[in-house]
Structure 1
Amino acid sequence: MIENPVGSDASVAHVPAVVDAPVADSLELSAGTRDRLRRAMPESTRRAYTGDLRRLVTWCSEKDLLPAGVDTTDDERLAAALRLLLERHGDLHVLLTEYVSALADAGRAPATIERAIAAIAAAHRAGGAGMLRTDGPRQVLRSYRRDRATTGSGVRVRKAAPVTIAALRAMADVLDRHSLVGIRDTALLVLGFALGARRSELAGLDIADLTFTAEGVQVEIRTSKTDRDSRGRTAALPYGAYSVTCPVRTVQAWLAALADHDRTSGPLFVRIDRHGGLGRTPTNRGSADGRLTGQAVALVVARTATAAGLDPKSAWSGHSLRRGFATETYRTGADPLRIARAGGWKDGSATLLGYIDDVDRWQANPLAGVGL
């Protein structure tokens, strides 16, 4: 039995459901305040963290660290289970270290284990138990990563294949730009590439976020994954040399199609059903205004890449547009700082630098010209 009694039950009396409200206090929060606290964390992150916490509770139950069959079917019951876990064991450092080792034994991906550590640490803080030490769990994870690398058992992460300019043209060429779906998907692909947008950013665009000027179109991205305070950024997209890959003209064509269906406001990219209806809401799925989801954006990219005959072994996804923007603009000599700010990467982003390294691996190879 792992034991580390908590010093005071009061500190864990208000474990919020699914780490959505990082507040432990004797005051009762209003429904509006709790809703804002809940929405401060992206919905996708909340879902992932909820799953991680449920799996932790299940493991604890199997190890007799919690009563057998603890109910976690909803947020309230999961919160109660987490509260009981904290009351029984207090600081969860030792427990988490054992849990990470168990995940490693089960062959879970290191990234999955990293997220579980983050979810449990967040719940620990939210429950009023203070900052959770994670040095032990991370040392276990480090050993696990080394073991996988040494034995070759680790599965290499498939990075999203970058959509190059040539690939973008090939994708645009297979779309039927006389059909509503073809007009939308062309605009989505070209605009996504030109913005270096995350799929969530592309899905989140409204018609009102576009401002056309003599030079091109300005796009306001109101919030994004790394913009926690939703300060937003404005991207300026000039006219392209080719109409099929011009962000201005392809978006104008889509806006004209939307206007023909009496849509001049609301989401920019919407669902289209098989009958040509815009924004129809499938049963219990999607938002009422018909906005495309980030997942739908990824499906458009993958589907069109397949239709264009692009390398089937490559991982084509929504992130392919963003990665392609980074590599293609850098390849033509754009300054990395300008690329970062245009695409919404933080200055010095390790992710962006990784994309740049992919280009420099050959373009600035130190062996080039040595006479081998």
Structure 2
Amino acid sequence: MSSQHEEVVDAELVDDRLPAIPEDRTPAVPQTEQDPDAWLPPEAQEDVQAGIPEDTTRAYEGDMRRFAEWCELVDRRVMPAAPQTVTAYLSYLKRTPREATKRPYGPATMDRIIASIRSAHRAAGFQPPDTMGARKVVAGYRKALAEAQDPAARPRKASPADRAVLGEALSRLDRTTLSGKRDAALMLLGHALASRGSELVPLNWPGSFMELPDGGLKAHVYRKKRKVWQDVEMAPDPDPDLCAVRAVRALVAALADEGHTRGALFLRMDRWGYLAPPMQRDGKPIGDPDGRMTIEAASDIVQRSIERTGLPGRWRSHSSRRGFVKSARTAGVDIVRIGRHGGWKDNSQALLGYVDEDDAAGDLNPLAQIGREAAKREAEE
């Protein structure tokens, strides 16, 4: 499961792809028997499903599959689950290291698991179990981790890749190759548009772009979280090595040399540089048939490129979006303009969180700024 599934999700699913109720269990009264109107026609269920991010659906399905496996192991009813069953399961997760990481799930993932169980019940027509006990387990777990200063108590966030970080990463990238041009364009465009990986990967050439009179580009970006389209203008950067416009044009020209003139801007490549190589799993084709790279691949490119520098941090495709905020703040850009350029809502708590974290260190630290102003006044006197 990708790292983005470690985060808490806000939605609860309506889906019929759920574990079957064991035959030797006596179910409680379904919601539909309590309320004859508590049901959805198939087309309404499809409409609800269309509003749920695919990543969320996959995460919830995995959560319910593992819950069902545990219930069978300890001889408890999967659905409708008793409140005590959910509490016991969360207590089990708190104490049980996973094979992949050798650590238990973090509190944020456990919050999501509770939401998964409740959603599965609603989807199957059952009253969701009371989860107060399970949430107290998670709250106590979060408190204990925080008091122990365990990193698992903190949300896992991507480190900001600002202009300085990007400059270091790009200096180690061979931008004469097609893959190097692609990787440079991906990182610089992510920074210029303040985009998530999920907003970069769908971009097409020329469909997502428009030429500007000053030689810049306007990108038509779908802001996935807000579910709105936004036109973002990009002027040519004075530093050619950090110019997203030049990087995109260089990639487009290189793709045209390979016969790819329309469609996905960011394509998967194999280690020999071949475009959109066919991929199979168990003898069946997988991956986008047009060769478009995945969001995970975009994150891998950012991580690999920046890790070559030796800079510490958690580098993902989201690093470019966070890095834009840091770059803009360093340049003195007003936070409202930063938010509107990057598609955040005014007074976005996520954006304010980035600003607070960035301002807590380095030149933007409030105490450092106070000290500089005081020194400046003393020098003037």
- TM category, shorter: 0.7 to 0.9
Is 2:259 aligned against 1:269?
no
Is 2:70 aligned against 1:59?
yes
CA offset digits 1:92-129 (Å, max 9, x no partner) = 54432332222223232112101101211222222233
Do the aligned partners of 1:209 and 1:220 also contact (CA within 8 Å) in 2? yes
What TM-score results when the alignment is normalised by the length of structure 1? 0.79
Is 2:121 aligned against 1:124?
yes
* Residue aligned with 1:297, SS: helix
Q: Per the alignment, do residues 276 and 143 of structure 1 end up closer, same or farther by CA in structure 2, a change over 3 Å counting?
A: closer
Q: CA deviation at 1:198?
A: 0.7
* Residue aligned with 2:186, SS: helix
2:286 equivalent in structure 1: 285
Report the Cα distance in structure 2 between the residues aligned to 1:156 and 1:94, rounded to whole angstroms: 25
Do the aligned partners of 1:167 and 1:310 also contact (CA within 8 Å) in 2? no
Do the aligned partners of 1:24 and 1:126 also contact (CA within 8 Å) in 2? no
Do the aligned partners of 2:114 and 2:131 also contact (CA within 8 Å) in 1? yes
Q: CA deviation at 1:36?
A: 5.4
Report the aligned-residue RMSD: 2.9
Alignment coverage as a number of residue pairs: 331
* Residue aligned with 1:220, SS: strand
Report the Cα distance in structure 2 between the residues aligned to 1:219 and 1:170, rounded to whole angstroms: 26
Gaps of 5+ in 2: 1-24, 97-103, 376-381
Q: CA deviation at 1:223?
A: 4.6
Gaps of 5+ in 1: 13-22, 67-81
What are the within-5 Å matches in structure 2 for residues 185-264 of structure 1? Answer: 185-207=183-205, 208-215=207-214, 216-224=216-224, 226-227=225-226, 230-264=227-261
Give % identity: 35
CA offset digits 1:52-78 (Å, max 9, x no partner) = 101111122222213xxxxxxxxxxxx
Q: CA deviation at 1:9?
A: 7.1
The residue type paired with residue 258 of structure 2 is H
What TM-score results when the alignment is normalised by the length of structure 2? 0.78
Do the aligned partners of 2:270 and 2:277 also contact (CA within 8 Å) in 1? yes
Report which stretch shifted further, 36-45 or 353-362: 36-45
CA offset digits 1:221-261 (Å, max 9, x no partner) = 1251x13xx33222111111111211111111111122222
Is 2:162 aligned against 1:164?
yes
Do the aligned partners of 1:104 and 1:144 also contact (CA within 8 Å) in 2? yes
The residue type paired with residue 7 of structure 1 is V
Is 2:338 aligned against 1:339?
yes
1:104 equivalent in structure 2: 94
Do the aligned partners of 1:11 and 1:127 also contact (CA within 8 Å) in 2? no
What are the within-5 Å matches in structure 2 for residues 68-83 of structure 1? Answer: none
Report the Cα distance in structure 1 between the residues aligned to 2:151 and 2:274, rounded to whole angstroms: 46
2:304 equivalent in structure 1: 303
Report the Cα distance in structure 1 between the residues aligned to 2:130 and 2:219, rounded to whole angstroms: 42
CA offset digits 1:5-26 (Å, max 9, x no partner) = 63347459xxxxxxxxxx9637
CA offset digits 1:270-309 (Å, max 9, x no partner) = 01234433222222432111001111111111221133x2
Is 2:29 aligned against 1:7?
yes
Do the aligned partners of 1:206 and 1:267 also contact (CA within 8 Å) in 2? yes
1:16 equivalent in structure 2: none
The residue type paired with residue 314 of structure 2 is A
Do the aligned partners of 1:331 and 1:359 also contact (CA within 8 Å) in 2? no
Report the Cα distance in structure 2 between the residues aligned to 1:135 and 1:317, rounded to whole angstroms: 34
Report the Cα distance in structure 2 between the residues aligned to 1:60 and 1:132, rounded to whole angstroms: 15
Q: Per the alignment, do residues 285 and 26 of structure 1 end up closer, same or farther by CA in structure 2, a change over 3 Å counting?
A: closer
Report the Cα distance in structure 1 between the residues aligned to 2:29 and 2:271, rounded to whole angstroms: 61
Do the aligned partners of 1:161 and 1:323 also contact (CA within 8 Å) in 2? yes
Do the aligned partners of 1:199 and 1:294 also contact (CA within 8 Å) in 2? yes
Q: Per the alignment, do residues 223 and 153 of structure 1 end up closer, same or farther by CA in structure 2, a change over 3 Å counting?
A: closer
Q: Per the alignment, do residues 235 and 130 of structure 1 end up closer, same or farther by CA in structure 2, a change over 3 Å counting?
A: farther
Report the Cα distance in structure 1 between the residues aligned to 2:325 and 2:232, rounded to whole angstroms: 14
1:329 equivalent in structure 2: 328
The residue type paired with residue 332 of structure 1 is A
Report the Cα distance in structure 2 between the residues aligned to 1:202 and 1:149, rounded to whole angstroms: 35
The residue type paired with residue 267 of structure 1 is A
Do the aligned partners of 2:178 and 2:254 also contact (CA within 8 Å) in 1? yes
Report the Cα distance in structure 2 between the residues aligned to 1:109 and 1:205, rounded to whole angstroms: 34
* Residue aligned with 1:287, SS: coil
Q: CA deviation at 1:37?
A: 4.7
Report the Cα distance in structure 2 between the residues aligned to 1:290 and 1:324, rounded to whole angstroms: 28
